[in-house]
């Protein structure tokens, strides 16, 4: 059920879905075309940006946004000076048109845990833009959570460790000699991530992002870097939980898939949960050196399975999973709100853009 709010714009109606105020929903109060929407976004920067700063995400629903180029027009209308073209994240993505990519090419049964986009970088994206070109038959929500509230609720002992030591990431990538686009643990290859096989260019990009590179085998690569774990919003001055522990920790996926099973109650979800639990147990017994993606406190201390579960519990406490409707566009403040993906069935195509 929606709750109406006041707005100075006569033809855009604002509301919330249910009891949550994440996201704030913008809907047309009368029939308009795409040009009307893009013109409004251009001319009302202060209004929608203030809403974005307050609530963390805006869902545009019911507007005539039918294809990737329409979504691209919305991106241009925001007048963001640096729309994303280079993706240093881990999920496989395909470019559709300039500044517009598929959100992820991972299989539909894969869960994507909550994360702020590229939080492991010194300068992660400022805004994220999602477009539901085609909503899934079942599932496939892109849940979001308020990272400012997550920060408040995380165990104070965990926060103290991160405050003192930060977060350290280690990621192993296969290289061009491996034909598979992604594996269960590594996801895409390093040449896909860096967009080049030129090692001088790889080093240049890595130096800019403070990545330590260690080569092994034929052309495999380990990347290590550190971040603070929290971030202060440059405008709102709010502090947010801002790290990839809940994505890169070996235990995170297990917590996620069992919670998904409780939500979806399908045989497939149960099968994925059981299989991943077994694989994670094997990796745990094998030790941290066997983990292709690993995260610790900045001093090298392990984040325990118990600590990781408590982090996951906080995220699920704040999780908002609104089913996509074809044509939806959502703008997310990447310094305040996280996102993920629930498993789905049937055709689904979500496109993404971002601004640096």
For 211-252, write each residue's pLDDT tens digit: 999 998 888 899 999 999 999 999 999 999 999 999 888 888
CA nearest neighbour of 292 among 347, 220, 232: 220
Kindly state whether residue 232 falls inside one of the protein's structural domains: no
Q: Note the pLDDT of residue 186.
A: 53
Kindly state whether residue 38 falls inside one of the protein's structural domains: yes
Q: How many domains does the chain have?
A: 1
Range of the domain at 134: 12-148+316-355
For 138-148, write each residue's pLDDT tens digit: 999 999 999 99
Token readout for 86 is 């280079």
Name the H helices within the chain.
34-43, 45-55, 68-77, 147-153, 156-165, 190-194, 199-208, 245-248, 252-264, 267-286, 305-318
> For residues 139-178, b (16+ Cβ closer than 10 Å) or e, as one string?
bbbbbbbbbbbbbebbeeebbebbeebbbbbbbbbbbeeb
Report how far residue 334's alpha carbon sits from residue 353's, in angstroms, rounded to the nearest whole number: 12
Using a pLDDT cut of 70, give the percent of the chain over it: 92
Kindly state whether residue 321 falls inside one of the protein's structural domains: yes
For 39-96, write each residue's pLDDT tens digit: 999 999 999 999 999 999 999 999 999 999 999 999 999 999 999 888 777 776 788 9
Q: Note the pLDDT of residue 286.
A: 65
pTM given for the model: 0.90
CATH number of the domain to which 90 belongs: 3.60.130.10
For 99-119, write each residue's pLDDT tens digit: 999 988 778 988 899 999 999
């Amino acid at each position: 059920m929606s709750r109406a709010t006041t707005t100075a714009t006569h033809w855009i109606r604002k509301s919330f879905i249910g009891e949550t105020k994440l996201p704030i929903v913008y809907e047309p109060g009368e029939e308009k075309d795409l040009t009307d929407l893009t013109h409004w976004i251009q001319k009302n920067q202060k209004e929608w940006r203030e809403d974005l700063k307050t609530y963390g995400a805006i869902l545009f629903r019911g507007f005539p946004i039918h294809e990737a180029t329409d979504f691209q027009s919305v991106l241009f209308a925001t007048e963001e000076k640096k729309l994303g073209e280079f993706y240093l994240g881990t999920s496989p993505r395909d470019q559709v048109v300039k500044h517009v990519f598929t959100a992820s090419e991972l299989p539909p049964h894969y869960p994507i845990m909550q994360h702020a986009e590229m939080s492991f970088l010194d300068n992660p994206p400022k805004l994220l833009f999602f477009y539901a070109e085609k909503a899934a038959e079942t599932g496939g929500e892109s849940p979001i959570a308020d990272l400012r509230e997550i920060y408040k609720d995380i165990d104070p002992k965990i926060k103290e460790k991160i405050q003192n030591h930060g977060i350290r990431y280690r990621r192993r990538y296969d290289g061009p000699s491996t034909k598979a686009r992604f594996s269960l643990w590594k996801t895409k290859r390093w040449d896909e991530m860096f967009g080049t096989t030129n090692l001088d260019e790889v080093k240049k990009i890595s130096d800019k992002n403070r990545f330590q590179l260690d080569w092994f085998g034929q052309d495999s690569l380990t990347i290590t870097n550190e971040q603070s774990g929290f971030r202060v919003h440059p405008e709102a001055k709010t502090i947010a939980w801002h790290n990839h522990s809940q994505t890169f920790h070996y235990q995170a996926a297990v917590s996620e898939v069992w919670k998904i099973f409780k939500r979806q109650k399908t045989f497939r979800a149960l099968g994925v949960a059981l299989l991943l639990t077994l694989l994670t147990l094997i990796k745990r017994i094998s030790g941290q050196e066997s983990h292709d993606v690993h995260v610790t406190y900045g001093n090298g201390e392990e984040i325990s399975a118990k600590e990781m579960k408590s982090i996951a519990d906080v995220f699920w406490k704040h999780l908002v999973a609104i089913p996509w409707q074809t044509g939806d566009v959502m703008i997310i403040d990447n310094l305040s709100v996280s996102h993920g993906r629930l498993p789905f069935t049937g055709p689904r195509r979500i496109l993404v853009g971002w601004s640096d």
